[in-house]
Structure 1
Amino acid sequence: MSLRRFTVVTAGALAALALTAGCAADTTPTAPTGGGTALPGTTAPPAPPVPAPGVGADTGGVTADQAARLCADMQAQLQSWRTYTPTIGKGGLNTVVGTWAAQSGVNMLDLIAHKSRVDAITEQYCPEVRQGAIKALEIPDLAAGLIGF
């Protein structure tokens, strides 16, 4: 299998995973401020500070707790995105955002229509995580890396 075909197949599989992750029913309770549970032998990333709401930032009504969870989930993936190719990392970004939206009760159709809200949320609540993701994925903004969102 050629490298190009492998990359395309992998990206397609990750995009499909991101879409199905958003459809799964999650009935387990979630922690109020992100982080989740860490794997044995690791520590969960600290929750980012919650700034005062920014003027003009279109976060689509996302709460500070929801934003903190997105930031923590993205921060937990930054090293993977730096390690793998940007194409594979973009699939990971889609998985993180899709899973976060599904678990946070964010309207997926509205998020798909307004992908820039992910940028607004992360720029307001965790600009250093956003910048790290943009650099690792080699994209101008997070909206550019979202497929189907």
Structure 2
Amino acid sequence: MPFRRYAFAFAGAAALLAGTAGCASDTTPAPASTAAPAPAPSTNSGGAGAAGGVIPGDSGGVTTTQAEQLCSEMEAQLQSWRTYTPTIGKGGLNSVVGTWAAQNGVNMIDLVTHKARIDVITTAQCPDVRDGALYALELPDLASGLIGF
């Protein structure tokens, strides 16, 4: 029973942190609209993703570099998500996505409205990491595990 309290406290803290980060990202939408980083993926190792550096579909204009960062952060948490209960892991998923969005200037309100974008991004960039997260967190899709930040 104490685990449940900790899980809810952790999920609440992650949501609060992500919500606070969302307020900060709303004041700086300019980095998301500047396309200067887009040429960088072509000079790098040229990871998976769409031509032109933007993930195809309804990704909200997320670049392959941003998607690689999200995938890397999720992959680093997979073992923890497998070890702990899905409830605690879902709090961790929210923390990873919220922190990633804040660091990349992603509009948090738009992301909350379009949670499925996380599935679009991870399906295009790192389907194996996405599948591992779905299995560990016992989710049908990542959007189902995201709370309202």
> TM-score, normalised on structure 1?
0.74
Match of 1:52 in 2: 50
Asked if 2 retains the 8 angstrom alpha-carbon contact of 1:48 and 1:125, the reply is: no
The residue type paired with residue 85 of structure 1 is T
- SS of equivalent to 2:57: coil
The residue type paired with residue 17 of structure 2 is L
Aligned residues between the structures = 129
Normalized per residue, which structure has more helix?
A: 2
State the alpha-carbon separation in 1 of the partners of residues 46 and 8 from structure 2.
34
Offset of residue 58 of structure 1: 1.2
Match of 2:91 in 1: 91
1:14-61 Cα distance to aligned partner (Å, 9 max, x none): 332333354568xxxxxx8xxxxxxxxxxxxxx994233599621111
- The 5 Å alignment of 1:17-56 reads 17-23=17-23, 49-52=47-50
- The 5 Å alignment of 1:57-68 reads 57-68=57-68
Asked if 2 retains the 8 angstrom alpha-carbon contact of 1:21 and 1:95, the reply is: no
Residue segments in structure 2 that go unaligned for 5+ positions in a row: 26-36, 38-44
Asked if 1 retains the 8 angstrom alpha-carbon contact of 2:87 and 2:137, the reply is: yes
Asked if 1 retains the 8 angstrom alpha-carbon contact of 2:55 and 2:62, the reply is: no
Given the alignment of the two structures, is residue 145 of structure 1 paired with residue 149 of structure 2, yes or no? no
State the alpha-carbon separation in 1 of the partners of residues 55 and 107 from structure 2.
22
Residue segments in structure 1 that go unaligned for 5+ positions in a row: 26-31, 33-46
Using CA pairs under 8 Å that are at least 6 residues apart, name the structure with larger relative contact order, 1 or 2: 2
State the alpha-carbon separation in 1 of the partners of residues 60 and 71 from structure 2.
16
CA RMSD of aligned residues (A): 2.7
The residue type paired with residue 79 of structure 1 is Q
Asked if 2 retains the 8 angstrom alpha-carbon contact of 1:70 and 1:97, the reply is: yes
Offset of residue 10 of structure 1: 3.5
Structure-2 change in CA distance of 1:66 and 1:55 (3 Å): closer
Offset of residue 83 of structure 1: 0.7
Asked if 1 retains the 8 angstrom alpha-carbon contact of 2:48 and 2:125, the reply is: yes
Aligned identity (percent) is 64
The residue type paired with residue 77 of structure 1 is Q
- The 5 Å alignment of 1:3-18 reads 3-18=3-18
